[in-house]
Amino acid sequence: MPQRTFSIVKPDAIRAGHAGAVLAELDKAGFRIVAIKKQSISKAQAEGFYYVHRERPFFAALTDFMSSGPLVLMVLEKENAIADLRKLMGATNPANAEEGTIRKKFATSIQENAIHGSDAEETAAFEIGYWFAGYELI
Ligand code: ATP
Ligand code: MG
């Protein structure tokens, strides 16, 4: 059965003009776009989204970065979508990302790392519901 995951093309990749290239990688890997929107988010919205990281030393910088410019929010679907997207993204720090991964190609630092992907079924459900209404999922 197909599985859904949530993804963001982060502001660094949009600013660098890589949004289309990131979407092409997702397309090539067989992800179906269930929902997609380009949006700028507030600092408070970023804080709510990254709530699990609120105690981490990088929380303030991360939420500033995520609210620094437009991003592309997406719900994606395929068999094994959550794990397959994490693999396609590559390691959080692009210095450790494998050849061929999106972060290897487009990330510039551990913070400005081009793409987000949900890390588990429960987080995917939370993240999809945080950004999209049920009627937008088609
Ligand atoms: P994401 O949740 O965005 O898909 P991830 O699961 O690979 O990325 P997390 O540990 O969940 O990584 O961290 C969330 C985001 O916080 C990272 O993608 C990155 O933008 C930022 N981040 C993580 N660790 C650091 C760090 N040590 N310094 C600065 N920013 C960081
Ligand atoms: Mg994460």
What are the tens digits of pLDDT across the range 64-79? 999 999 999 999 999 9
The verdict on whether 53 is a catalytic residue reads no
For ligand 1, mutation pick of 26, 41, 62 (most atoms within 8 Å of CB): 62
90-138, pLDDT tens digit by residue? 999 999 999 999 999 999 999 999 999 999 999 999 999 999 999 999 9
pLDDT of residue 127: 98
pLDDT of residue 11: 98
Q: Give me ligand 1 centre to Cα 46, in Å.
A: 13
Nearest CA to ligand 1 atom 13: 92
Compute the average pLDDT of residues 19-33. Answer: 98
Could you give the CA distance from residue 76 to residue 66 in angstroms, rounded to a whole number?
A: 20
Compute the average pLDDT of residues 35-48. Answer: 98
Compute the average pLDDT of residues 16-41. Answer: 98
Side chain identity at residue 66, one-letter code: M
Could you give the CA distance from residue 132 to residue 59 in angstroms, rounded to a whole number?
A: 23
CA 37 to each of CA 66, 99, 137: distance values in angstroms, whole numbers, following the listed order: 15, 28, 11
**List of domains in the chain:** 3-136 (3.30.70.141)
Catalytic-labelled residue, pool 4, 10, 103, 116: 116
Please report how many Cα atoms fall inside a 13 Å half-sphere around the Cα of residue 113, on the Cβ side: 21
- Looking at every residue in the chain, the average pLDDT score rounds to 98
For ligand 1, mutation pick of 26, 92, 122 (most atoms within 8 Å of CB): 92
Q: Give me ligand 1 centre to Cα 111, in Å.
A: 6
